Amino acid sequence: MSNLARIQWDFQEFLLHESGAVHGHIAPGGRAPVATRLAIYAHAYAARMRGALAANYPAVAKVLGETEFTELAQEYIASHDSRFSSLRYYGDALAHFIATETSYRSAPFLPELAQWEWTMAEVFDAADADPVAANQLDGRQPADWASLHVTFHPSVRALAFTWNAPQMWKTLMDDAERPRARQERQPVTWLLWRRELREMFRPLSEAEQQALDAARAGESFGGLCEVARAHFREGEAASVAAAWLRDWVESGLITDIVIPFA
């Protein structure tokens, strides 16, 4: 390791773990003691990390308030070093951290709110891809449909929540009165995606969620019909599956439609 690399490493270890090795690289003297000068950088690092968490989790910050969120940030920073070159990605494990810390058991909805916020940011940051035109399904021959496959936009996500975290997030971002935390009778799966520069989301029925999972895993339209048959009458399955597919296309979720050997 070069001398410069050693200095950089020791300085990083001081910021992250309060290692004292960096003191040996700093010349004494000056207007302030070495410890004071180093403390300026240490405090600046922690403040920058707290700012990154607040930017990535604005709804969590609003729910907790400044004092409690600062405490949460300090606890997280102490146990989670930054692993990315961009602060945008700092805090990826916050939902799990909150869920496993006993001090947050009195707010059982909070991990899901954090998970929702992180996923919404992932949706916004996902790669660009042009959705297919809404008329791409028009004129397809009946024989084509059974083997039809689709490709989803890179931003598409589907997450199940046991609390009303999405509704809480929406009202908090709109600066409206926050709804009371409510646990759902059954977990609700939410579909999230980006259309141009706008994040979109809506709840899914159990049937559509299973169909979406199947399609994202590579199932053909024929496979979607099998999913529909498990939830609807035999005569309705194909039309229900077609309605799902058309809605996905019209909503901008689909970037390619492939009919093998067509």
Phi, psi of 211 (to 5 degrees): -65, -40
Same domain, 158 and 60: no
Q: What pLDDT does residue 2 have?
A: 72
* Residues 104-142 pLDDT 10s: 999 999 999 999 999 999 999 999 999 999 888 887 777
Phi, psi of 69 (to 5 degrees): -70, -35
Same domain, 126 and 58: no
Domain boundary among 84, 107, 130: 107
> Which tokens is 110 given?
């909070």
Same domain, 78 and 153: no
> Which tokens is 34 given?
């070495």
> Which tokens is 123 given?
């949706």
Same domain, 58 and 147: no
For the chain, how many structural domains are there in total?
2
Same domain, 129 and 28: no
Domain boundary among 107, 122, 156: 107
* Residues 39-97 pLDDT 10s: 666 667 778 889 999 999 999 999 999 999 999 999 999 899 888 878 899 999 999 99
pLDDT interval class at 235 (50, 70, 90): confident
Same domain, 250 and 168: yes
Same domain, 101 and 127: no
CA 259 to chain centre: 32
Q: What pLDDT does residue 151 have?
A: 97
pTM metric for this prediction: 0.84
Query: Are residues 22 and 13 in contact, defined by beta-carbon separation less than 8 angstroms?
Result: yes
Domain boundary among 77, 92, 107: 107
* Residues 201-210 pLDDT 10s: 999 999 999 9
Same domain, 87 and 126: no
Higher-confidence position of 42 and 144: 144
Among residues 158, 156, 179, 157, the alpha carbon closest in space to that of 169 is found at 179
Range of the domain at 171: 112-262
Q: What pLDDT does residue 5 have?
A: 60
Beta bridge partners of 191: 158, 202
Phi, psi of 30 (to 5 degrees): 90, 180
CA 97 to chain centre: 15
Q: Cβ contacts of residue 34 below 8 Å, gap of 6+?
A: 23, 26, 28
What's the rounded Cα separation, in Å, for the pair 186 and 140?
A: 38
Same domain, 96 and 123: no
Q: Cβ contacts of residue 141 below 8 Å, gap of 6+?
A: none
pLDDT interval class at 35 (50, 70, 90): low
